[in-house]
Amino acid sequence: MAEFALIDLIRARCAVAREDVRLGIGDDAALLAVPAGQTLAVSTDTLVSGVHFPKDTAPFDIGWKSLAVNLSDLAAMGATPAWATLALTLPDADAAWTAAFADGFAVLAREFDLALVGGDTTQGPLSITVTVHGFVPESLALRRSGAKVGDAVFVTGTLGDAAAGLALLQGPGVAGKAQEHLLARLNRPTPRVAQGLLLRARAHACIDVSDGLVADLGHICHASAVGAEIDLTLLPASPALLGLVAAEARVPLQLAGGDDYELCFSAAPAIATELLNDLARSGCAATRIGRIVAEPGVRVRAADGSLVASPRPGWEHFSP
């Protein structure tokens, strides 16, 4: 199949009509209208085969995940998704692979009313770069830099599932409902877009947990010139994780496991109850896990108040 047939295939499977797309796929550039009063939020993430997903991952899941991780960044800014571009590098022009990839991408594109407005298609080792564009009134955008001493720290959903799913894949084999849940969390993450919108004007700082809780909360602390203390016993765990992984082995997965794509945020303790109620009603409950303090760095405390030794830091490219 030739390059333009592949592009047509992707375009047909990902079709989402939006009035603000004045010119979509097919010209030298897309023409897009940003609504009055909104600021454009733009984010890019690349997924490289063998680095960001195992080489034998199903193409549907790769398509899903390549959009999900980008939507998660918009969620962390409190932005509403609108458009995406897709730079796809494929080893060969495999129509069946590309169709399945586009179908996975399209599930989330439809769910979040996101139009694919352009991209690039090239030959080479499998790699996917998605750029997403969303809208947020500038004064409402959630940044990493607003955390205040005395804030409570929260996280949506559960932690450690995706890392446990990856460990399962590298282990003896996968069978059963709990295993399937962990694998789905790895391969088909749920971007917390609705929750990000609920945090507008309420959270003081926000980030999505892509590299691990301690590492990503560390980014909030660094940007806000504060520190944080986390209570190990408060970290939310899924029934699947609790059922399959012993307590000790859960600790590094929950503190340093990547790929969960939950939102970690800080807010004034006075609004915690109302905020938690609203988030629970949105379909994804959040949990209060700690507090913002003046002393820099992220510290984790066990039930008896003792400090938990920091697990290996979150994922970093180029680290030795």
Report what 168 binds from Mg ion, ligand ADP, none; CB cut-off 5-8 Å by kind.
Answer: none
Whether the CB-CB separation of 247 and 315 falls below 8 Å is answered with no
Q: How far apart are CA 188 and CA 202, in angstroms?
A: 28
Q: Residues 27, 56, 92, 316: which binds ligand ADP (CB under 6 A)?
A: 27
- Asked if 27 touches Mg ion (CB under 5 A), the answer is no
Report what 10 binds from Mg ion, ligand ADP, none; CB cut-off 5-8 Å by kind.
Answer: ligand ADP
Q: Closest CB to Mg ion belongs to which residue?
A: 28
Report what 79 binds from Mg ion, ligand ADP, none; CB cut-off 5-8 Å by kind.
Answer: none
Whether the CB-CB separation of 185 and 161 falls below 8 Å is answered with yes
Residue 82 or 116: the one with the smaller Cβ distance to ligand ADP is 116
Report what 228 binds from ligand ADP, Mg ion, none; CB cut-off 5-8 Å by kind.
Answer: none
Residue 118 or 236: the one with the smaller Cβ distance to ligand ADP is 118
Collapsing DSSP to helix, strand or coil, 288 comes out as: strand
Report what 75 binds from Mg ion, ligand ADP, none; CB cut-off 5-8 Å by kind.
Answer: none
Q: Residues 63, 104, 118, 227: which binds ligand ADP (CB under 6 A)?
A: 118
Cα end-to-end span (Å), the chain:
40
Q: Residues 2, 17, 19, 28: which binds Mg ion (CB under 5 A)?
A: 28
Q: Residues 71, 77, 88, 253: which binds ligand ADP (CB under 6 A)?
A: 88
Helices 213-224 and 247-256 meet at what angle, rounded to 10? 40
Q: How far is the CB of 58 from ligand ADP (least distance, A)?
A: 19
Report what 86 binds from Mg ion, ligand ADP, none; CB cut-off 5-8 Å by kind.
Answer: ligand ADP
The DSSP 8-state label assigned to residue 295 in this structure reads S
Q: Residues 21, 71, 106, 116: which binds ligand ADP (CB under 6 A)?
A: 116
- Type of residue found at 46: T
Residue 122 or 273: the one with the smaller Cβ distance to ligand ADP is 122
Q: How far apart are CA 197 and CA 215, in angstroms?
A: 23
- Asked if 56 touches Mg ion (CB under 5 A), the answer is no
Residue 34 token pair? 């940003």
Which among 218, 206, 196, 211 is positioned nearest to 297, based on CA atoms?
A: 218
Q: How far is the CB of 1 from ligand ADP (least distance, A)?
A: 13
Sequence-separated contacts (24+) of 135-138 with Cβ below 8 Å: 135/34, 135/35, 135/38, 135/39, 135/40, 135/41, 135/79, 135/80, 135/82, 136/38, 136/39, 136/41, 136/77, 136/78, 136/79, 136/80, 136/200, 137/37, 137/38, 137/39, 138/39
Kindly list the residues in this chain that would bind ligand ADP in the complex (CB under 6 A). Answer: 7, 10, 25-28, 86, 88, 116, 118-121
